[in-house]
Chains A and B, each alone.
Chain A
Amino acid sequence: MKCRVCRGPAVIDVRRHNANFCGEHFLRHCRDQVAKAIRKHQMLQEGDRVLVAVSGGKDSLAVWDILLDLGYEADGLYLGLGIDGYSPESERFARAFAESRGLSLEVVDLPSDYGYDIRSAARASKRVPCSACGLSKRHLFDEAAGRGGYDALATGHNLDDEAAVLFGNVLHWQGEYLGRQQPVLNAGDGFPRKIKPLVRLGEREMAAYCVLSGIDYMVEECPMAVGNKHIGYKEALNSIEERSPGTKHAFYFGFLDRAADLFVPSADDRIAIGACTRCGAPTGAEVCAFCHLLERSGGHLPEDAQAVPVKLGRRGPEDL
């Protein structure tokens, strides 16, 4: 196998592009794909400050690394989920990455800052753990991005994630969710701009990016996610991709080009957004879903609601 660019020995094949790359040109390929996604979907402008939602896994560390490489000012926020045997280790990877590069990483811990963990929240709210986790992450990352004055919140969602979510939403014709499945959601109604710079890269590419860049990441899967529907959708799509490379890309980007607009609600259909009476977060109800989750889980808002993410962007590596 020879590198498509330099004809030197290749270390990885990307069958979707019918291309092989050496290490150096593969890393360039990843950066180019992220730059293309940012440009094409107008995710960021020069000088924008970005908050990266960091989990300690391959995707979030890679997107942080690439955004910095492309010249953006990017800080990280890690959310400790209180999952035994998983959260402490993933936090260690997030901290080590930030420390090795002198980056600003804020850590919010659900058990100590909010008085609950994902397992207890799932049980109390009768949600599956991934649902309680997703709700917590969306609320706390949004809040932190707003409080820190960031121009955008970046997540590590990659092509496999987006194709799998699309697959699940199409199987069940979840019109509301399909209307939000864009690589960028603009700021509005109190929500920050949300961007997914990795949508042009598969998760195998992101894992390879980390190996070739020397980024040490949490390889072990979250024990609560094992066997969930999302992973099942990924396995089904990978089985198709194996026989027909490029299928995931065609599925997701075909949706964006030809169908996504059909699911975006018109101005008349949008629900009115106000402020949660407890925490002030934007919501279509009197009390937001996060505060309901807190209530059912026996959790609480931080005593000083301004204290948790307030240091974002102001920490030096010596504080990590």
Chain B
Amino acid sequence: MIIQLRNPQRTVEMEGPMAVTALLVRLDIPRESVLVIRDGTLVPGDAMLGRDDSIEIRSVISGGAR
């Protein structure tokens, strides 16, 4: 599957199928800091990601002056 990451923008490829939680552990990304999105829809932590899926892992942390 192809995984697009934001902030900074980059793409990685991984073997599927794999659970969302396992993918985040593999990439060493804290769940609290991202959303996982497939086809414009949120994917919950226990969902399985298929080998042909295109996934976005979107950072939700923003900073700076508010």
Give me the interface of A with B, judged by CB distance under 8 Å: 1, 10-13, 15, 20, 23, 57-59, 129-131, 133-134, 137, 155-157, 160-161, 202-204, 206-208, 211-212, 219-222, 224-225, 228, 230-231, 234-235, 238-239, 241-242
B residues 31-47 near A (Cβ < 8 Å) are 31-35, 37, 40-46
Give me the interface of B with A, judged by CB distance under 8 Å: 6-7, 9, 30-35, 37, 40-46, 58-66
Residue of B7, B31, B41, B61 touching A160 (CB-CB under 8 A)? B61
B44 near A13 (CB under 8 angstroms)? yes
**Inter-chain contacts of B46 with A (CB < 8 A):** 1
Residue of A58, A133, A225 touching B60 (CB-CB under 8 A)? A58
Main secondary structure of the interface of A (DSSP, over half): helix
**Inter-chain contacts of A20 with B (CB < 8 A):** 44
Interface centre among A11, A15, A137 (most CB of B within 10 A): A11
A219 near B42 (CB under 8 angstroms)? no
CA distance A235 to B65 in the complex (A): 17
A222 near B42 (CB under 8 angstroms)? no
The residue in chain A whose Cβ has the minimal distance to the Cβ of B58 is A219
**Inter-chain contacts of B7 with A (CB < 8 A):** 219-221
B64 near A204 (CB under 8 angstroms)? no
B45 near A13 (CB under 8 angstroms)? yes
**Inter-chain contacts of A219 with B (CB < 8 A):** 6-7, 58-59
A12 near B32 (CB under 8 angstroms)? no
Given A219-B6, A242-B31, the answer on whether A1 and B62 have CB atoms closer than 8 Å is: no
The residue in chain A whose Cβ has the minimal distance to the Cβ of B44 is A1
The residue in chain A whose Cβ has the minimal distance to the Cβ of B37 is A211
Interface centre among B34, B42, B58, B60 (most CB of A within 10 A): B60
